Structure 1
């Protein structure tokens, strides 16, 4: 069989030689051809810059200005940067005050203007640090006597969770019968939240399981309302966190992720960030507006029973493991506070540095951020006698008051 010209191996040549193989000759030519373009500079126009009207030297001038600005602050220290940003903030605040004064046609003195600027900056600093307190004493009504209350029965089974909006005009309740009710506080009227079909729940992100009973799967153990009153969050035995639109009373989203019953919920004040605690011993953070999972935090050795949060990215939780944890969400760290004797069942923030906890033996404990043990213990805070009343003869009630910061 004759080989084509230039192909195969020459007789007497070195075995395995590829000098005359046209395949390798062609590959070499291709590589040489590509290499002729490697050192060439190809000019191109950025499509974004072209759309914004920057062509050629215009775009070059913008880039040079940005580089000059970067070079100007390249050797800037952290202290100098803080000073520069503070001066810029002060300048913007003065400009805003000047515009407001012009709109009002006021002829205020410079000292009064400076006082307004100081108050504005102080308020902003307190908001950023989470130390703002609402002045509500003038709007609080006198407490009613213990005899002046009404009992409204709408649920068919025990009520397991309630929530109240920030403006105190709307209430929410959940029961073991799987129903969620929206209450008008002044009139006592209620509306029922209707669960959507399984197909709608699947489209909203829920992983539908085969429950023992459909009503049992919809049993909600926790409720929380956002600060703006727009969203209602519910959680229960179906292991999902459900988000409802308060205005339309419609189901918006279902967050899967917990491996056991969702036992407690709370919104971070002033935000759409939601914290959930579960019997699976984890705390998860969700962004309701973005409909997204943010992060989770661990640390408890037993079921989580209660959770609370203020404005900062901190979550306070208690559980059956007799511990209270302060979760620092951005740092993914936590501080552990250990109760003296029994399981903790409730907790709340007083401020960013002080907390309250309630245990199953009737003890209320006051905690400080810098101490791992209670600062003060009030034992038998609700001592119960045989007839279900307290030692002073009043019906047993328990409520913690929290500050808004």
Structure 2
């Protein structure tokens, strides 16, 4: 039986390879600066420190052979998942690498950065290919399917769809909030999450959302006494909502998930632009839900949970544990 694998990383530079069935993890070892330079690194911020190894993003190739990581040292690092060895460092970004994604079924890797650019790499050839421009602020999240199209959101309140082959792009704007995360549903529809707690459904033909779930992670009201509660905690009657920090879609299905800064993970049925998004189930956690990923099989959902937000330190939850939460699913 093939081992079901998952990967996680943290701000202390730890990169872990998980066996989902047993819950055991194996650690990736960072090479020293001399080896990093021989692998292509440029000025890896002097000594090897926890700060310079701060990892903000991970991505796994479709065939599971390569793992890419990025963070504060401004490099994209390539690892071999079979040996857990570091094999290449791609320099070029002038700011922290904030997001990564592989193009499905190919060796193309896309990296987004605080330097407002998206770079394209070929991991098989270990080569830089191109740079995409268009953002006025930091790039926060990127996603890609099988076509050479990249979906990205940035802190300039825009979501952009880059058509790489055509050298063109479509710009989608949210007028009331800052978009935090995005994900393709298919080639013509995508979903995003915002810092005002909303989830938006978009169609490629319109520049505005076709459907909005407002306050998607707002705390529910206890009917008996009117007090608002979340994960057993009382909020003294104040309506508390949380920004949506991550979204993902189970490929080949209508199932989507969103995670928020208050520890809430929610499952949704995406019924299309005509009908919108319907809530299915709540998965309460403790901490900041910084990433979400469905297994290819659709049999489980992974949530990266931390005491702090992925891209900052503006919040802290000491009750949370840094780690990966696994929710097994049964699709009907």
The bucket for the TM-score relative to the shorter chain is 0.5 to 0.7
TM-fit CA distance, 1:292: 0.4
Q: Is the 8 A contact 1:198 1:208 kept in 2?
A: no
Deviation at 1:296, TM superposition (A): 0.9
Query: Structure 1's 213 and 200: CA in aligned 2 closer, same or farther, altered over 3 A?
Result: closer
| Match in the other structure for 1:259 | 94
The 3-state SS of whatever aligns with 1:214 is coil
Q: Does residue 1:321 correspond to 2:156, yes or no? A: yes
Query: 1:182 is matched with which residue?
Result: 17
Q: Deviations over 1:272-306 (max 9, x none)?
A: 11011001110111000000011110111111110
Give the length in aligned residue pairs. 236
Q: Secondary structure at the match of 1:199?
A: helix
Residue 362 to residue 259, structure 1, CA distance change in 2 (3 Å): same
Larger Rg: 1
Matches within 5 A, 1:123-202: 169-202=4-37
The structural deviation recorded for 1:378 is: 0.6
Structure 1 ranges of 4+ moved more than 3 A: 209-213, 384-391, 396-399
Structure 2: gaps of 5 or more residues: 221-227, 236-241, 254-332
Q: How has the CA–CA distance of structure 1 residues 399 and 328 changed in structure 2, closer, same or farther, with 3 Å as cutoff?
A: closer
Distance change (3 Å), C-alpha of 1:379 and 1:390: farther
- The CA deviation at 1:400 is 2.4
As a proportion of its length, which structure holds more helix? Answer: 1
CA contact 1:273–1:285 (8 Å) conserved in 2: yes
Matching residue within 114, 117, 120 for 1:285: 120
Q: CA deviation at 1:177?
A: 1.1
Between Structure 1 and Structure 2, the one with more strand by share is 2
TM-score, reference length from structure 2: 0.67
Listed one character per residue, the Cα deviations across residues 64-107 of structure 1 (whole Å, up to 9, x for unaligned) are xxxxxxxxxxxxxxxxxxxxxxxxxxxxxxxxxxxxxxxxxxxx
CA distance in 1, matches of 2:183, 2:23: 28
SS of 2:51 mapped into structure 1: helix
Equivalent runs, 1:298-377 vs 2, <5 Å: 298-377=133-212
CA drift of 1:208 comes to: 2.4
What's the secondary structure of 1:202's corresponding residue?
A: helix
> Retained in 2: the 8 A contact 1:266–1:275?
yes
Does the alignment pair 1:227 with 2:59? no
> Shift of the alpha carbon at 1:331?
1.9
Q: CA deviation at 1:404?
A: 5.5
- Show CA shifts across 1:192-224 (max 9, x none): 000011111101110124358711100110000
Among residues 31, 37, 41, which one is paired with 1:206 in the alignment?
A: 41
TM-score by length of 1: 0.55
* Alpha-carbon shift at residue 384 of structure 1 (Å): 3.8
Q: Deviations over 1:205-251 (max 9, x none)?
A: 10124358711100110000000000000000000000000000000
| Alpha-carbon distance between aligned partners in 1 of 2:4 and 2:162, rounded to the nearest angstrom | 31
- Counterpart of 2:82 in structure 1 is 247
CA RMSD across the alignment? 2.3
Q: Relative to 1, partners in 2 of residues 1:387 and 1:196: Cα closer, same or farther, differing over 3 Å?
A: farther
